[in-house]
Structure 1
Amino acid sequence: MASKVYIADMKSTTNSESMVKKLGKLFYKAGFHELIEKDDFVAIKQHFGEPGNTAFIRPVFTREIVQIAKKLKGKPFLTDANTLYSGQRSNSVDHLNSAIGNGFGYATVQAPIIIADGLKGKGSTEVEVNLKHFDNVRIASEVLEADVLISLAHFKGHELAGFGGTFKNIGMGLGSRAGKQMMHSAVLPEITESECIKCMKCVKHCPENCIIINEDESYIDHEICIGCGECVVTCPTDAISVEWESTSEGMEERQVEFTYGIVKDRKNVYINFITNVSPDCDCAGWSDRPIVNDIGILASKDPVALEQASLDLVNQAEPKGMLEDRDLKPGENKFKAVHPNTDGGVRQIDYAAEIGMGSKEYELVSL
């Protein structure tokens, strides 16, 4: 049975048709208002944008969702988890400063920000999933306390997953820092001995006691290492390296499994902004020209249908930016054209459907 995906296009000629107002109408049209009850904690998950990036979802849209949640007597808060890479969002202090700098202060969005995995990204909780790659996934703890999860995802390119939408926003976004290591690579971490100061912090935090450090050597026993990434997060000198090598399809599947662990047994709202469709993720400190013109905002209670509809609309659109001179046929995967080492993001949709998260069949319903 086809799932309904609701779309608000970019045409606006009056104040009542502004994209902000359309987002509110879309929320009610999709039936999301039925999910929020009095005193529900409502987590609004979005990417706040790396400083220097300008493609992320604008705070005025976030405020519209906050106002709706408050009108429904919920208790909304904005949230994200710290990054694994070293940037300006790898700890809560820098993360909050970055969010406020990009316009997400309380005065603008009218809701507090809670970084879901704590000060240094260690606030994680294991959630059982029993899927292909993981028996348990490590989720940023605070989001698991929420009654409702609203995903505001910017649909754009991603150098490893092909594209980033709902699954990246939730799965990668709300995995703890150790969880992000689990998703990004199946390769186990290594210690660079010349950088190791033998502080033993990694040994203390290792759940499997697989790290050996003494006067003569520092190494990780890969026979018992589970690749949780806790040592990578803990090391104060970056002597334990983050391993990014992975196949596109494998990373996509792991990301979906984390998404599954977060959304199962929860009331969820899924919204994709197909605007400023940049070639790269909002984690980059810049934004290249969009690869297609703005298409609109899509919403659905089915994340698989939402991602499939979003991908189809982008692929059917006229190529722009770095793809203008490419001989792309209508329907050809634009994200694979941008990131040829990926499958264009197809596997994440297929795998989510395979594990029962939704249907690839959809009916597109306009406002």
Structure 2
Amino acid sequence: MEDVYIARVGAQSMNQNTGNKIKALCTAAGLANMVDPGDLTAVKVHFGELGNDAFVSPLHAASVVKEIEAIGAKPFLTDTNTLYLGGRRNAVDHAKTAALHGFCYPVFDCPVIIADGLRGQSFTSVDVYGKHFDAVKIASDIVSADSMVVVSHFKGHEAAGFGGALKNLGMGCASNEGKREQHTTRPMILEDRCILCGACMNACPEFCISIAGKSVSIDLEHCIGCLMCMNTCPEHAIDLDWQDDGVVFVERMIEYASGAVGNKTGKAFYINFLINITPHCDCTPWNDIPFVPDIGILASIDPVALDKACYDLVNGEEGVLGSLLPDHHRPGEEKFTRVWPGTNPELQISYAEEMGLGRGEYRLVEI
């Protein structure tokens, strides 16, 4: 059973401001045991898609960087390029988006390095032992880093149920080709809901969607499974075969997560922000209102225990009326499968345990 440390929201003095909470969390959870002086330390963040402002605040990420620098390590902010259209599909646009969102000097005095290179093609093959892969394609600069601090926004996710540290590792540390290997999900049109608005067609990065007459079709041969069509559809007229595609997506993502930390035993630290707990991934160029109130910030050396604690805490909250959560508003009721019906959020935890990433059992320690 691993300890998961939590600093809850709310403050009545300077000692309780967010920066001091992050400092206390890093100390209590053992950051200094995972990061050594002189380490080139990857600070794995999500810079947020253009149009989204729910991602972890650069001010909060800067507090994490400050603690890494205090150890004597050399941190760099990092993420990987996306498959879909937007502000992060190549390293040039990605770095500009990071700067526009505040991940730049003078907030930080460390560099932004896009870990999979100019076009997402720089990767290192890492052996894994899973159901789907013998080796995974991890961004080269993630593998090359001496240590890694994973800073994650815990929120909903349309295919995985939730996104936290495990998804930040699995999808977030994969190269372009690695993301393609995970996105085997193939969307389908629910014709009774479709209003032929064309939003999905405009969102598709591979131009796989077409409208002819009164029907929409998806070219599944060329579809990359990024699910931007599903995210964009205002009528929820695009869905997945959850029994097969949803399970495979999560399992592949977790196998990639195991590869991301394959050479980081005793050299990885995790912080999850349970703030702005929105329904969608930060990859969407918008964000909806949170479906539960802010809870706090959590840290651990075990990503599985950390995500499980966050999952339990969210379910323990009262749901926000008027959010994408249609019911199950009472504390203790399952939230994620109501926001995203058909998903199986706990599969992330159970398969991550099977892959040796950590344990779902935890002890919550208040600081």
Structure 1 ranges of 4+ moved more than 6 A: none
Contact 2:40–2:147 under 8 Å retained in 1: yes
1:6 is paired with a residue whose SS is strand
Call closer, same or farther: CA 1:325–1:171 in 2, change over 3 Å. closer
> 1:205: which partner in 2?
none
Question: What pairs with 1:1-367 in structure 2 (closer than 5 Å)?
Answer: 2-185=1-184, 240-244=222-226, 247-266=245-264, 267-320=267-320, 321-322=322-323, 326-343=327-344, 345-367=345-367
Q: Which amino acid in 2 is paired with 1:361?
A: E
Runs of 5+ in structure 2 lacking a partner?
Answer: 187-205, 207-218, 227-239
Q: Distance in 1 between matches of 2:343 and 2:185?
A: 17
Q: Distance in 2 between matches of 1:13 and 1:186?
A: 47
Q: Distance in 1 between matches of 2:330 and 2:27?
A: 36
Contact 1:126–1:139 under 8 Å retained in 2: yes
2:181 is paired with a residue whose SS is helix
Contact 1:78–1:111 under 8 Å retained in 2: yes
Deviation at 1:130, TM superposition (A): 2.0
Deviation at 1:323, TM superposition (A): 5.0
Contact 1:46–1:152 under 8 Å retained in 2: yes
Q: Distance in 1 between matches of 2:274 and 2:99?
A: 23
Q: Distance in 2 between matches of 1:325 and 1:40?
A: 46
Deviation at 1:63, TM superposition (A): 1.0
Contact 1:63–1:110 under 8 Å retained in 2: no
Call closer, same or farther: CA 1:158–1:186 in 2, change over 3 Å. closer
Deviation at 1:329, TM superposition (A): 4.5
> 1:218: which partner in 2?
none
Call closer, same or farther: CA 1:243–1:64 in 2, change over 3 Å. closer
1:313 is paired with a residue whose SS is helix
1:250 is paired with a residue whose SS is helix
Q: Distance in 2 between matches of 1:69 and 1:328?
A: 39
Q: Which amino acid in 2 is paired with 1:265?
A: N
Q: Which moved more, 1:324-333 or 1:309-318?
A: 324-333
Q: Distance in 2 between matches of 1:106 and 1:48?
A: 15
Deviation at 1:107, TM superposition (A): 1.5
2:59 is paired with a residue whose SS is helix
Runs of 5+ in structure 1 lacking a partner?
Answer: 188-231, 233-237
Q: Which amino acid in 2 is paired with 1:337?
A: R
Contact 1:249–1:348 under 8 Å retained in 2: no
Q: Which amino acid in 1 is paired with 2:50?
A: P
Q: Distance in 2 between matches of 1:310 and 1:327?
A: 17
Q: Distance in 1 between matches of 2:312 and 2:80?
A: 29
Q: Distance in 1 between matches of 2:62 and 2:278?
A: 23
Deviation at 1:355, TM superposition (A): 2.1
Q: Which amino acid in 1 is paired with 2:259?
A: G
Q: Distance in 1 between matches of 2:124 and 2:365?
A: 37
TM-score by length of 2: 0.83
Q: Distance in 1 between matches of 2:276 and 2:329?
A: 20
Deviation at 1:248, TM superposition (A): 1.8
Contact 2:305–2:359 under 8 Å retained in 1: yes
Superposition RMSD in Å = 1.8
Q: Distance in 2 between matches of 1:172 and 1:242?
A: 14
Q: Matched residues, percent identical?
A: 45
Q: Which amino acid in 2 is paired with 1:243?
A: G
TM-score by length of 1: 0.83
Q: Distance in 2 between matches of 1:333 and 1:94?
A: 38
Call closer, same or farther: CA 1:336–1:327 in 2, change over 3 Å. closer
Q: Distance in 2 between matches of 1:338 and 1:93?
A: 34
